[in-house]
Structure 1
Amino acid sequence: MSKSFVVPSSEVPGYSPIYRHPKYKSGTHNGEFADITTLYELFGHVVKTYPKREFLGAREYYPETNSFGQYAWITTTEAADTISELGSGLDIVYAKYAPEINPATGQQSIGILAVNRSEWLLTELAAFRSRRYTVGVSDIAGVESAEYVINSTDIHVIVCSMDKIPRMLDRADKTPGLKVIISMDKLDCSKPSIATQAFIKDTVGILKTRAESLNIALLDMDEVIAMGRLNPTKPAPPKPSDLCTICFTSGTSGAQRGALLTHDAFTHATRGAHLSLELYDTTYFSFMSLMHIFDRYAIYTFMHGYARVGFFSGNTANILDDMQILRPTVLPISPIILNRMYDRIAEATIGATGVSGMLSRFGLKSKTKRISAGRGFRHALWDRLVFDKVASKFGGNIRLMITGATPVNPEVQDFFRAALSCNVIQGYGQTETVGGGLVQMATDCTNNTIGVPSPGVDIRLRSIPDMGYNATDAPSPRGEMMIRSKILFSGYNGDPERTKEVMDGEWMATGDIAKINSDGSISFVDRISSTLRSASAISIEPAPLEMIYSGHRLIKSVHVYGNVCTYELVAIVVPEPSAFVPWARSVAGKADADLTELCKDNNVAKVITRELRTLASKNHIPPWEMIGAVHMEPVPLEQINKEFYTSSLKIRRHIVNQHYKARFDELYSTLDCTIDPKVSSEEHK
């Protein structure tokens, strides 16, 4: 039986048939949860159906020892009261300081800048109460990124953690529309948190004085809640067609694109995921940035069947400790983090020497075979001897692990299925699809697949003959994945031309190549876009970078490459012979060496790499766009293989990357790729 339903007679020239979820062949949700049409209604459903249940939790913080204790919770009912009072308070703040309505949307935006915490979701739900939409703001990618987001989305009010306030004031002259900053933390420092460590009353007083001089109102969330409690306002709930959020795709500074997502799209995506996974009474661990789409998509998905959401303590180094206290039942996780955890845990188990390693390897083989045969995830012997110790590091209670963004190594997927005694599934989605689209069923234990379309989502493939992918390929149709559904975004904020580029009638072109497997599941194959993505999870456009790097006097051309499992770029460098040869002879100490010999010299390659990094610094290129290692190529790429370029001399990156795949792997093997430049770089703090 096929895992996907093939819509009869739906193929047209250049396209595959349409594929749907096997239980929802009509392409709809069959009326399930039809009364939930906005995220505000979804929250109302949670409060009504699961009153007084634990809802949002955070670990208690002890400033004296800079340590954390148990999780403290607010209930669904308490959250509803807070949201009502905070929403009323926001109404008062907007009326006084920022009454303007965005003419393009007919609504008002509110910015949120903080790591994941209860106040993030409380702010978002309070904003929904009066038809406002949220915009997650990040300052990880540099000051320019936050400025671009604030200005392009008309943010007048921003809610942030206390540690973000100084930087918000620093950029005030470049964000002239910003009128109010609301601190999630009490400005009198009476409720210490990890975000208030560097503050005392005197320093907060300086911030208040500075904000006043900039004509920015500085309040804290408790003040706003108190306003709303004293002067409650009537809710003005959103319509399904209203904007829910503008969520920015990962990008560098001004290159980011804000996807316009409506309540209709968001509820359709989360409802479909819930119907597909059918999970109830979950404990969810939130640590993947709420600014991006995936964590919010997952939280609202599990809210359909009730979820208690526990937030990480604010430091990714404490994630395992947080999970041991929280004991989550579902865990969303990115492939890069999963791979890091695998490297550490595998080294201590299946990679260990002696009896311990032998038992771990034998146990993994035995459990993997058992799981693949459908005989369950538990094994009385091997769990007691080996795997319960691993599972305890994750809290010992995980029922499902979900990953996406990039394919997961089958060995890693099978290892965690055995080690945690739960299924590990993959999914697929984009910001433009509210994070949803496809997901493996919760009982599917196969590998190398992103699952099947979620209920209410249509998938088909479009032939890309220039890349050799065709919807008529046998036995597996291949092509660009196209999506048609209510989950689709309404366009890019202020960029109608780019919106038109990704739409083909009712269908959105994902830019990703997929194939239909013989069992009806779908697998990720390739990307059309030239965009690179390293482990930093920030999209990188190679052409502008290559233009800068190729401007070096010693270089004719540069081809950069990124790997989603590593943090640095590598590159193919073609030298400019007239300048390069005498310079390289001096570096190598080889007076008679020719161009080919010099290109093979490791010391020359290292010095060229340093030259490129110096050039990058002078051009204010961020760390994750710097080159960590190079392969010197004496012959211009167009002379190596005529297939590298189209007839109009546009580079065919996928062919170049395939040609140099082994060389790129060798270059990455020489790098220390364990340090995230977003975190380590002092320049971008």
Structure 2
Amino acid sequence: MVPFINQDPKEILELIQSQYPLQTTDHYTAIPLDGTKKNGYSPIYRNSRAVKGLVSVPHPAVRTVKDIFDLTTKVYPKSPCLGVKRKDAKGDYLPYKYDTYEEISQKAVNFGSGLFFVLENSPFLTNSSCHAKISKHKRVVEKNEMSFILTLYSHNTQEWCITDLACAFNSVTTTSLYDTLGPESSEYILALTESPVIVCTKEKVSGLIQSKKENKSLSNLILIVTMEPLTHVDSELVSLAAKENITLHSFEKVSELGALSPNDPVSPSPETVYTISFTSGTTLKPKGVVLTHGNAVCSSAALMSIHNGVRHGRSYCFLPLAHIYSRMMLAFSYLMTFSVAMPRSASPLTLMDDVKEIQPNDLALVPRVYTRLESAIRVATVENKQKPFMAKLFKHAIDKKIQLMLERDGATGANLFSDMFAGLLRKKMGFNNLLVFGSGSAPLAPDTIKFLKAALNVGINQGYGLTESFGGICGSRALEAKPGSCGPIAVTCEAKLKELPLMNYFVDDAQGPAGELMLRGPQIFREYFKNPTETAKAVDEDGWFSTGDVARINSEGLIFIIDRIKNFFKLSQGEYITPEKIENVYLSRFPLLTQCFVHGDSYHSHLVGVVGIEYERVLPWLQSRFRKSPPNTRKFIEIMNQREVKKLFLEEMNIATKSVLQGFERLHNIKIAIEPLKADNGVLTPTMKLKREIATRVFAKDMQVLYQEGSLIRNVSTKL
């Protein structure tokens, strides 16, 4: 760690942590800089606390991920760091057990040393340029060049985090694979990065060996480390690996070798590449976003200005570490001396069981999880058909709380009656200590935010960020009176908008400037890995990154993400349609929807779509409108797609959105399904963004049928 006027580490960390959360209100606004407006562009906006200059670090002595972890370890060595659930001899889960910051640091040191020992002594080393970087690692790093790349491939585990820290300590760059990438994209990433080593769960090993056997471009892969121990049962697996010039070791074995053969780590600089995060994005081939230690530290500084929470708290690392949202939260947790609990398994179904035991202070989730949480709470409370009197009490309590929270920004809606019911829910769900939810990756419906805040007496930070910005670059107030914004730009970035005349977005709009959101600052990535063409498309000569997202900025400098630039087409009558905006309107204004895909083309004059619903949520609607109670989800969906049923459902969708959507923007026919948009069928990215081109292909026959059926709303009034 770089010394700062010989300041004591404890003083440095206390100074950093004392600034979190910010006890001011001016950081919730952004202002346009005088003289920066140019033709076709809005002025440049900066956070009110960064008008004179952007922030790049939380403290001058903290410039890398290694600095963050070293600082916390020096000051609080005995504080709990990473927690895991192990099984006993009978196969039953034991309580969470935490290793301290000191213990995790030593494990990272040992594993890092062992990694170099095994690689340098591999019988399968070649004279390739990639393998040459292993033996010349120190010289490569000292020249500020990227050395070899280690690949991580597993769900969230303690070993994942230790490997990541070991690489950070030694200036080794990491990248990650995840199941929903698919084998073709995974092999593409391994070939492009020339990764010589993969650290993964044992279940991945045989597939990786087979990939190398069938793909000559993976010749640089010579080491696989399993996170679980290897036993005599795995001897055949070891032999299969050796046949393909791969050494197979366990994480435990590599760490033991490292403890016996310690090496001198090569500390990173802010310019050292920390990770290459391959974003599946909405295109067919993943792009590798090159992110430095400086970017990672900068994102922690951003979170200090946009997130609300506590110091020395407890968090749950639920979202996949393969994605940058979770990496951002992990680095920030280290800086705040959090204890971080890992999921007990790869299954998301253990979320609530884990939360009940951990009792976290904050929890980062994505909209898809929040909508399911909302549905579960509604069925148990305000829509509880088995206990109508209790449902009535809950409805009164939650409605009152929502009303009080709408009065002003920061309003807690304190009410003895409402808080009593919220307390019951918090205790039952393991949210006793929860202060704030964090949401990102996609817009969260305002009605969902209002309901969850009131039902659980909790704040919700809705943020916006990208892989290219190492996560969040803005975040709303936790207790925003009228939810919907992503807050102002953080202190680490500046923003401006580029108007889009074809999409009808202008920077001189009376409602506030609208256009493509552009970002610049120390938090923004430097390039796409080995892809100068895409880099040049995304980043201009002045360093402005074009996000591809359409935003509106209001008079307080709050950012609202309203559309996606690539997603527009023309109907047969000549009207331009931006489907993502329409989808977001339906999802935010009609709470019975959980998913929405809008489709149209120049051969037709109206829109059709596929909408996702949940059985428990929509069943009461079906019962009240048609007095039907299907016994299972199959029969339920069959009834929901009957012409008279879906016609009424669609009419109510359009009534809910009539004040926002123009006539040509309304859906005229729909297919109704339970979770039709999935990562499994390629329609969604792993971060739940819609792959529109693929969705159009997947639902092509459905769209054809809907157009053949014709409009369900012609001559139908949308007046109440």
1:26 matched to 2:57? The reply is no
1:8 matched to 2:34? The reply is yes
Residue type of the partner of 2:41? Y
Kindly tell me: are residues 560 and 18 of structure 1, through their superposed partners in 2, closer, same or farther at Cα, counting changes over 3 Å?
closer
Q: 1:527 aligns with which of 543, 561, 564?
A: 564
In structure 1, C-alpha distance between the alignment counterparts of 2:421 and 2:316, rounded to whole Å: 27
1:178 matched to 2:180? The reply is no
Question: After superposition, what is the alpha-carbon deviation per residue over 1:108-138, rounded to whole angstroms, capped at 9, x for unaligned?
Answer: 1100000011111100110122210110112
Kindly tell me: are residues 680 and 55 of structure 1, through their superposed partners in 2, closer, same or farther at Cα, counting changes over 3 Å?
same
1:81 matched to 2:111? The reply is no
* Deviation >6 Å, runs of 4+: 559-570
Q: Which residue of 1 aligns with 2:65?
A: 39
In structure 1, C-alpha distance between the alignment counterparts of 2:384 and 2:170, rounded to whole Å: 57
In structure 1, C-alpha distance between the alignment counterparts of 2:455 and 2:553, rounded to whole Å: 30
Q: Which runs of 5+ in 2 are unaligned?
A: 1-25, 126-130, 135-139, 570-576, 588-593, 609-637, 642-660, 687-720
In structure 2, C-alpha distance between the alignment counterparts of 1:57 and 1:132, rounded to whole Å: 25
Q: Which residue of 2 aligns with 1:462?
A: 498
Conserved in 2, the CA contact under 8 Å of 1:91 and 1:130? no
1:273 matched to 2:306? The reply is no
Q: Which residue of 2 aligns with 1:404?
A: 440
Moved more, 1-10 or 83-92: 1-10
In structure 1, C-alpha distance between the alignment counterparts of 2:223 and 2:578, rounded to whole Å: 42
Q: 1:372 aligns with which of 398, 406, 410?
A: 406
- Pairing 1:154-193 to 2, within 5 Å after superposition: 154-173=194-213, 174=215, 175-188=218-231
- Pairing 1:529-544 to 2, within 5 Å after superposition: 529-530=566-567
Q: Which residue of 1 aligns with 2:259?
A: 229
Shift of 1:379: 3.8
In structure 2, C-alpha distance between the alignment counterparts of 1:15 and 1:251, rounded to whole Å: 26
Q: 1:248 aligns with which of 262, 278, 287?
A: 278
Q: Which residue of 1 aligns with 2:324?
A: 293
Conserved in 2, the CA contact under 8 Å of 1:139 and 1:145? no
Residue type of the partner of 1:323? V
Shift of 1:335: 0.6
In structure 2, C-alpha distance between the alignment counterparts of 1:447 and 1:509, rounded to whole Å: 26
In structure 1, C-alpha distance between the alignment counterparts of 2:602 and 2:554, rounded to whole Å: 40
Q: So what's the TM-score if we normalise by structure 1?
A: 0.77
Q: 1:92 aligns with which of 69, 93, 117?
A: 117
In structure 2, C-alpha distance between the alignment counterparts of 1:497 and 1:503, rounded to whole Å: 10
Kindly tell me: are residues 32 and 287 of structure 1, through their superposed partners in 2, closer, same or farther at Cα, counting changes over 3 Å?
closer
In structure 2, C-alpha distance between the alignment counterparts of 1:360 and 1:185, rounded to whole Å: 47
Question: After superposition, what is the alpha-carbon deviation per residue over 1:18-66, rounded to whole angstroms, capped at 9, x for unaligned?
Answer: 212222222322874121111111111111222210000111224634x
Moved more, 45-54 or 366-375: 366-375
State the SS of the aligned residue for 1:339. Answer: helix
Residue type of the partner of 1:75? T
Kindly tell me: are residues 501 and 236 of structure 1, through their superposed partners in 2, closer, same or farther at Cα, counting changes over 3 Å?
same
Kindly tell me: are residues 362 and 329 of structure 1, through their superposed partners in 2, closer, same or farther at Cα, counting changes over 3 Å?
same
Kindly tell me: are residues 278 and 389 of structure 1, through their superposed partners in 2, closer, same or farther at Cα, counting changes over 3 Å?
closer
Q: Which runs of 5+ in 1 are unaligned?
A: 189-200, 532-541, 543-558, 576-594, 600-627, 632-655
Conserved in 1, the CA contact under 8 Å of 2:56 and 2:301? no
Q: Which residue of 2 aligns with 1:335?
A: 367
Q: 2:454 aligns with which of 418, 440, 443?
A: 418
Conserved in 2, the CA contact under 8 Å of 1:284 and 1:299? no
In structure 1, C-alpha distance between the alignment counterparts of 2:40 and 2:599, rounded to whole Å: 35
In structure 2, C-alpha distance between the alignment counterparts of 1:61 and 1:133, rounded to whole Å: 32
Residue type of the partner of 1:678? D
In structure 2, C-alpha distance between the alignment counterparts of 1:32 and 1:514, rounded to whole Å: 28
Question: After superposition, what is the alpha-carbon deviation per residue over 1:363-384, rounded to whole angstroms, capped at 9, x for unaligned?
Answer: 1111122333444255432232
Kindly tell me: are residues 675 and 500 of structure 1, through their superposed partners in 2, closer, same or farther at Cα, counting changes over 3 Å?
closer
In structure 2, C-alpha distance between the alignment counterparts of 1:397 and 1:679, rounded to whole Å: 38
In structure 1, C-alpha distance between the alignment counterparts of 2:290 and 2:178, rounded to whole Å: 17
Conserved in 2, the CA contact under 8 Å of 1:387 and 1:418? no
In structure 2, C-alpha distance between the alignment counterparts of 1:252 and 1:7, rounded to whole Å: 33
Q: Which residue of 2 aligns with 1:304?
A: 335
In structure 1, C-alpha distance between the alignment counterparts of 2:596 and 2:548, rounded to whole Å: 23
Kindly tell me: are residues 369 and 281 of structure 1, through their superposed partners in 2, closer, same or farther at Cα, counting changes over 3 Å?
farther
Conserved in 1, the CA contact under 8 Å of 2:81 and 2:99? yes
1:507 matched to 2:544? The reply is yes
Q: Which residue of 1 aligns with 2:182?
A: 142
In structure 1, C-alpha distance between the alignment counterparts of 2:400 and 2:560, rounded to whole Å: 27
Residue type of the partner of 2:241? A
Q: Which residue of 2 aligns with 1:214?
A: 244
In structure 1, C-alpha distance between the alignment counterparts of 2:237 and 2:283, rounded to whole Å: 26
Q: So what's the TM-score if we normalise by structure 2?
A: 0.73
State the SS of the aligned residue for 1:486. Answer: coil
Q: Which residue of 2 aligns with 1:382?
A: 418
In structure 2, C-alpha distance between the alignment counterparts of 1:30 and 1:259, rounded to whole Å: 19
Question: After superposition, what is the alpha-carbon deviation per residue over 1:439-465, rounded to whole angstroms, capped at 9, x for unaligned?
Answer: 124454431100111112101111111
Question: After superposition, what is the alpha-carbon deviation per residue over 1:454-502, rounded to whole angstroms, capped at 9, x for unaligned?
Answer: 1121011111112111111113111111101111111111111111111
State the SS of the aligned residue for 2:96. Answer: strand
Q: Which residue of 2 aligns with 1:479?
A: 515
Q: Which residue of 2 aligns with 1:644?
A: none
Residue type of the partner of 1:420? L
Q: 1:58 aligns with which of 84, 99, 110?
A: 84
Residue type of the partner of 1:229? A
State the SS of the aligned residue for 2:675. Answer: coil
In structure 1, C-alpha distance between the alignment counterparts of 2:513 and 2:602, rounded to whole Å: 38
1:362 matched to 2:396? The reply is yes
State the SS of the aligned residue for 1:26. Answer: coil
Residue type of the partner of 1:239? S
Residue type of the partner of 2:73? V
Q: 1:432 aligns with which of 448, 462, 468?
A: 468
Kindly tell me: are residues 26 and 561 of structure 1, through their superposed partners in 2, closer, same or farther at Cα, counting changes over 3 Å?
closer
State the SS of the aligned residue for 2:363. Answer: strand
Kindly tell me: are residues 246 and 451 of structure 1, through their superposed partners in 2, closer, same or farther at Cα, counting changes over 3 Å?
same
Moved more, 101-110 or 436-445: 101-110
Percent of counterpart pairs with the same letter?
24
In structure 2, C-alpha distance between the alignment counterparts of 1:63 and 1:568, rounded to whole Å: 47
Conserved in 1, the CA contact under 8 Å of 2:422 and 2:456? no
